[in-house]
Structure 1
């Protein structure tokens, strides 16, 4: 296999911003394979497929896949144990249901 160059995890910010109302580049995720915890901006992002693939910088396991079509998007976080999203302090905290 040839060594493909990658972009950093900041590449995911624009496409994911269309799906989420917060900046996810500062979100923290944990790799399901090796347990490494770090910012999504630290992922190695490959764009040589029909979508974007974010791999763990420690073990290269796929943590996130994002594919877009004109009318929908597919987001696969199977390789991510959790995604901790920082929220602005001035955002009102929702009341319990």
Structure 2
């Protein structure tokens, strides 16, 4: 039994000795990278519908789906902000690769 305990402790010791050392760096080594992202479209619930916002630039097409997957409305925005009237419910709004789930009350 004592030989088995010695073997287990030797295995455990070898596992801990195989870890990489942790090295602290100076504060001078820290760098900050600034990443700029393109403005994203947005869909915000408002009373009786949605407020769709498109970043300035080319017109964007928004597709609004019911929670069951049926296309409810499509809108191509050439203006920056448009209000779309919708009945109460849960919707998925897609614009290109962007999508968002919203609840209209």
Q: What interval of TM-score do these two structures reach, taking the shorter chain for normalisation?
A: under 0.3
User: What is the TM-score when the length of structure 1 is the normalising length?
Assistant: 0.27
Larger Rg: 2
Higher strand share: 2
